[in-house]
């Protein structure tokens, strides 16, 4: 069942979204060569608690194994769910930051990939294309459309650029739970579930694109997905609400 959110709930989700964006902005500023991913995790956690929110990922247990940290930091060939550690970020890395909070019972979730120092042209393009695909998907998040309009818009941006779409992970509904129905895939094939989009839906849209093939492996930690061919991957995510006049991005620091 897809839960629809009313104006009061959306007002709460805006607050959760604002906190996620503010924290990610600060963590992004702290991403530089020499910093450890544990330091980024601690920064995210401290900022979140100081804003009266709770980190959403820490202890989250969708499949038996609880996620141990507050932040996901996925470097280079890591696609998603990179676990912070004593690893130091290096010049030329691309770093995906994925973060969620629970604020007064409502969740928000957002991700972005940032370069460290000088990166190659193809890495730069991967980052730009994945971000553009997120916005192409958001643009389709309006009443009258279906889920496939979001999915195919995202997929088309990847395919046009020659990048591959990670199929094992999808976006999701979000609200009083981090993950609600529906799943929001980044590709579409006939036969897949394809609900109509309605006012009051809140969705996390989160394309993950690879420079090489779409295949992945899960590391021995049970969480971290890496590309099977070792090539790089990027990830962008926003929470949005479907309003009467179109999509509203919830995970932004300041509304204009
Ligand atoms: N943005 C990711 C997702 O929605 C991050 C989840 S991390 C987890 O699946 F630890 F919560 F699983
Ligand atoms: Co998400």
Task: Report which ligand 1 atom has the smallest distance to the Cα of 58.
Answer: 10
Question: Mapping DSSP to helix (H, G, I), strand (E, B) and coil, where does residue 158 land?
Answer: helix
Q: Which CATH number fits domain 8-249: 3.40.640.10, 3.20.20.80, 3.90.230.10, 2.60.40.10?
A: 3.90.230.10
* pLDDT given at position 63: 86
> Which tens digits make up the pLDDT trace of 38-50?
999 999 999 999 9
Pairwise CA distance, residues 143 & 122, whole Å = 36
Output the residue whose Cα is nearest ligand 1's atom 4: 171
Strand partners, 47: none
* pTM of the predicted model over 0.85: yes
Q: Which residue has the tokens 């629809």?
A: 4
Structural contact between residues 186 and 136, judged by C-beta atoms closer than 8 angstroms: no
What's the gap between Cα 85 and its chain centre? Answer: 20
Q: Is the CB of 107 under 6 A from ligand 1?
A: no
- Mean pLDDT, the chain, rounded, equals 97
Structural contact between residues 202 and 239, judged by C-beta atoms closer than 8 angstroms: yes
The two tokens of residue 97 are 């930051």
> Which tens digits make up the pLDDT trace of 30-80?
999 999 999 999 999 999 999 999 999 999 998 899 999 999 999 999 999
> Which tens digits make up the pLDDT trace of 154-176?
999 999 999 999 999 999 999 99
Output the residue whose Cα is nearest ligand 1's atom 7: 57
Element housing 42 (H / E): helix 37-50
* pLDDT given at position 256: 59
């Amino acid at each position: 069942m897809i839960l629809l959110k009313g104006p009061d709930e959306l007002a709460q989700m805006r607050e959760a979204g604002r906190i996620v964006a503010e924290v990610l902005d600060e963590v992004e500023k702290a991403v530089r060569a020499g910093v450890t991913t544990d330091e980024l995790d601690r920064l995210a956690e401290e900022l979140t608690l100081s804003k009266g929110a709770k980190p959403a990922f820490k202890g989250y247990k969708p499949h038996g194994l609880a996620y141990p940290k507050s932040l996901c930091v996925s470097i280079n060939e890591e696609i998603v769910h990179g676990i912070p550690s004593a690893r130091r970020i290096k010049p030329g890395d691309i770093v995906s930051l994925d973060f969620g909070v629970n604020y007064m019972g409502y969740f928000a979730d957002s991700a972005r990939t940032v370069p460290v120092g000088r990166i190659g042209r193809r890495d730069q393009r991967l980052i730009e294309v994945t971000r553009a695909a997120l916005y192409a998907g958001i643009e389709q998040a309006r009443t009258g459309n279906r889920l496939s309009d979001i999915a195919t818009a995202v997929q088309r941006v990847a395919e046009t650029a020659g990048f591959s779409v990670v199929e094992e992970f999808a976006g999701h509904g979000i609200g009083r739970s981090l993950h609600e129905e529906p799943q929001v895939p980044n590709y579409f094939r006939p036969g897949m579930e394809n609900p109509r989009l309605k006012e009051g839906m809140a969705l996390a849209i989160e394309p993950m694109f690879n420079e090489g093939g779409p295949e992945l492996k899960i590391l021995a930690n049970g969480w971290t997905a890496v590309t099977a061919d070792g090539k790089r991957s990027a990830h962008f995510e926003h929470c949005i609400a479907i309003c009467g006049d179109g999509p509203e991005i919830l995970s932004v620091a300041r509304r204009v």
